[in-house]
């Protein structure tokens, strides 16, 4: 099962905001041992913590999600649309788009992708780049792997590339 750590799905069937990636939290407190949330496939996932996540939308718009649950065993980050409504953000689903407004002012939008509404964020490409860099850094720790991958290049050249 493939996970996407940076996309956020607007979900009308969720019961709370859920995030899979710890580094997206601005404020964070570790969870209570044994606490879990139930998910759509009738299973439960452990909660590691909770906190606030700031999302940057296009047009210099930002908003913060409060009390976001941190759970690793979720494939997608979820935004519960009813919780947005409770803080004054109106969520409208219309013709394959989701539109967010606050007090009549446009906040952001998203698009339907395979039946799920994906929020269009500025940070999506930046976060993908950070995840790729993190992956490369972890792989770079293994010189022997790079040695074999690069056609048995000498160690000095591998260290220079690293």
Average pLDDT for consecutive 10-residue bins of the chain (162 residues)? 69 85 89 74 83 84 88 85 90 91 89 88 60 60 64 71 67
**pLDDT at site 140:** 56
9, 117 in Cβ contact below 8 A? yes
How big is the CA angle at 136 (ends 121 and 128), to the nearest 5 degrees? 5
Q: What confidence score (pLDDT) does residue 150 get?
A: 66
Q: What is the predicted pLDDT for the residue at 46?
A: 85
pLDDT at 160: 73
pTM: 0.69
CB atoms within 10 A of CB 117: 21
Those residues with Cβ within 8 angstroms of residue 43's Cβ, 6 or more apart along the chain or in another chain: none
Q: Are 17 and 78 in contact (CB under 8 A)?
A: yes
């Amino acid at each position: 099962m493939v996970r996407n750590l940076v996309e956020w799905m607007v979900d009308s069937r969720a019961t709370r905001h859920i995030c899979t990636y710890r580094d997206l939290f601005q404020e964070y407190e570790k969870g209570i041992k044994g606490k879990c949330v139930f998910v759509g496939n009738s299973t439960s996932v452990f909660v590691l913590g909770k906190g606030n996540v700031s999302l940057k939308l296009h047009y210099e718009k930002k908003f913060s999600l409060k009390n976001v649950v941190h759970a690793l065993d979720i494939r997608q980050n979820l935004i519960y649309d009813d919780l947005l409504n409770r803080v004054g953000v109106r969520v409208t689903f219309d013709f394959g788009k989701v539109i967010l407004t606050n007090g009549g002012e446009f906040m952001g939008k998203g698009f339907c992708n395979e039946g799920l509404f994906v929020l269009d964020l500025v940070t999506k490409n930046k976060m993908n780049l950070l995840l790729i860099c993190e992956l490369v850094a972890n792989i770079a720790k293994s010189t022997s792997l790079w040695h074999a991958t690069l056609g048995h290049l000498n160690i000095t050249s591998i260290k220079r590339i690293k």
